[in-house]
């Protein structure tokens, strides 16, 4: 009878090779591509009265030079998900969507929440990923000095299906500006809007404490002020949202420049839930800066990257 040792010896490398291939394929299957999300205050990407060439023009769109600068900045970011504020109606949302598509950025899924004050400075979201559920609200109100006020820009709230295994709950906000208005004290109005938004957030985390929740937007206030603290919740408590400490390439943290006063402030924030925090790729999150940022808007975009896999 012929010895069988040579056959056994030959089979061992083959078995080892097959096991290596299967392990490699398993690792490859587990790997997921990072997702890039951006938020940007577009500065009046809408029709409004503007002074053009020395003349006042009613219902003029955002100047083409400014729009081109916006597209330039967003093209360099290449977001998979884009939250924006100061967006006009559906016509302007479609315009932005089409320009991005022409630049190779396809974001076919959208959500738009209309401004209740009638200024048409809306909040919107565009996404490469399908929207699994819509929870946006435009009917929240509060009382101030005996008068009822609306949370003017509402709460944009969608559940995005990044993959069959991973969903991202994304909220976009634009709180009351620092502009004084006859309707009430702008500081108290902003605080009350933050309280309503936080109540909405508490409802989400009450039902799903481990939710992958991102709250992003223009909150129009500084980090130590009450509206920001209200949105974050009690430090160390259940439902606390951590603020990502984003910087630009030079180490600066400002997101808004008020040219009249020549002041620089951090008004735009990205807040993350405990369930999402470990998935954030902090080394690539940033405040995006490019040469023509000031031609596009008085704000700079926030960029958040994450690995869409629960950790």
- The contacts of residue 74 (CB under 8 Å, 6+ apart) are 38, 40, 82, 100, 103, 105, 301
Enter the tokens of residue 230. Answer: 């209200």
| Angle at 152 (CA atoms; ends 241, 168), nearest 5 degrees | 35
The domains of the chain, with CATH numbers, are 32-306 (3.60.10.10)
pLDDT of residue 16: 44
CA-based end-to-end distance of the chain: 57
Q: What number is the average pLDDT over the span 224-230?
A: 97
Q: Which one-letter DSSP state was computed for residue 61?
A: P
- The mean of the pLDDT values for the chain is 91
Tell whether the model's pLDDT for residue 163 goes beyond 90.
yes
Of the candidates 162, 131, 97, 101, the one whose C-alpha atom is nearest the C-alpha of residue 310 is 162
pTM for this structure?
A: 0.90
pLDDT digits (tens, 9 = 90+) for 267-305: 999 999 999 999 999 999 999 999 999 999 999 999 999
Tell whether the model's pLDDT for residue 22 goes beyond 50.
no
Pairing status of strand 242-243 against strand 213-218: unpaired
Q: What secondary structure does DSSP assign to 79-103, as a single string? A: -SEEEEEEE-SHHHHHHHHHHHHHT
pLDDT level of residue 1 (50, 70, 90 thresholds): very low
Q: What secondary structure does DSSP assign to 2-25, as a single string? A: --SHHHHHHHHHHHHHHHHHHHHH
Q: Do 166 and 211 form a contact (C-beta atoms < 8 A)?
A: no
Over pLDDT 70: what percentage of the chain? 90
Residue that wins the pLDDT comparison between 206 and 11: 206
215 - beta bridge partners?
171, 271
pLDDT of residue 7: 39
Q: What number is the average pLDDT over the span 27-50?
A: 87
The number of helix segments (H) and strand segments (E) in the chain equals 7, 18
Q: What number is the average pLDDT over the span 63-71?
A: 98
Q: What number is the average pLDDT over the span 83-96?
A: 98
How many whole angstroms separate alpha carbon 232 and alpha carbon 272?
9
Cα-flanking dihedrals φ and ψ of residue 168, to 5°?
-120, 125
Count of all residues that appear for the chain in the document? 311
Q: Taking the CA of residue 252 as centre, how many other CA atoms within 13 Å lie in the half-sphere pointing to its CB?
A: 11
Of the candidates 153, 134, 181, 143, the one whose C-alpha atom is nearest the C-alpha of residue 87 is 153
Burial 260-298 (b: 16+ CB within 10 A, else e): eeeeebbbbbbbbbbbbeebbeeeebbbbebeebebbbb
pLDDT digits (tens, 9 = 90+) for 90-135: 999 999 999 999 999 999 999 999 999 888 999 999 999 999 999 9
Q: Provide the CA 34 distance to its chain's centre, in angstroms.
A: 15
How many whole angstroms separate alpha carbon 30 and alpha carbon 8?
33
pLDDT level of residue 83 (50, 70, 90 thresholds): very high
Cα-flanking dihedrals φ and ψ of residue 298, to 5°?
-90, 0
């Amino acid at each position: 009878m012929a010895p069988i040792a040579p056959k056994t010896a030959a089979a061992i490398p083959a078995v080892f090779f097959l096991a290596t291939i299967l392990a490699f394929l398993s690792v490859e299957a587990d790997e997921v591509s990072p997702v890039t999300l951006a938020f940007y205050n577009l500065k009046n990407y809408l029709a409004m009265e503007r002074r053009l060439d020395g003349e006042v023009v009613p219902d003029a769109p955002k100047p083409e030079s400014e729009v081109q600068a916006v597209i330039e900045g967003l093209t360099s970011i290449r977001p998979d998900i884009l939250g924006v504020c100061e967006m006009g109606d559906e016509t302007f949302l479609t315009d932005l969507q089409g320009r991005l598509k022409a630049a190779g950025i396809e974001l076919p899924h959208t959500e738009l929440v209309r401004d209740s004050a009638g200024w048409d400075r809306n909040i919107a979201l565009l996404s490469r990923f399908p929207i699994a559920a819509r929870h946006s609200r435009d009917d929240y109100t509060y009382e101030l000095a005996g008068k009822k006020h609306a949370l003017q820009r509402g709460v944009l709230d969608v559940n995005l299906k990044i993959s069959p295994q991973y969903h991202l709950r994304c909220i976009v906000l634009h709180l009351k500006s620092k502009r004084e208005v006859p309707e009430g004290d702008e500081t108290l109005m902003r605080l009350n809007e933050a309280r309503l938004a936080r109540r909405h957030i508490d409802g989400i985390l009450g039902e799903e404490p481990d939710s992958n929740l991102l709250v992003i937007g223009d909150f129009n206030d500084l980090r130590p002020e009450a509206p920001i603290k209200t949105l974050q919740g009690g430090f160390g408590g259940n439902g606390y949202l951590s603020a990502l400490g984003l910087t630009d390439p030079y180490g600066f943290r400002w997101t808004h420049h008020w040219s009249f006063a020549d002041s620089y402030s951090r008004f735009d924030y990205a807040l993350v839930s405990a369930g999402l925090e470990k998935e954030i790729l902090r080394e690539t999150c940033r405040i995006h800066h490019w040469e023509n940022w000031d031609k596009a808007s008085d704000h700079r975009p926030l960029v958040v990257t994450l690995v869409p896999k629960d950790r």
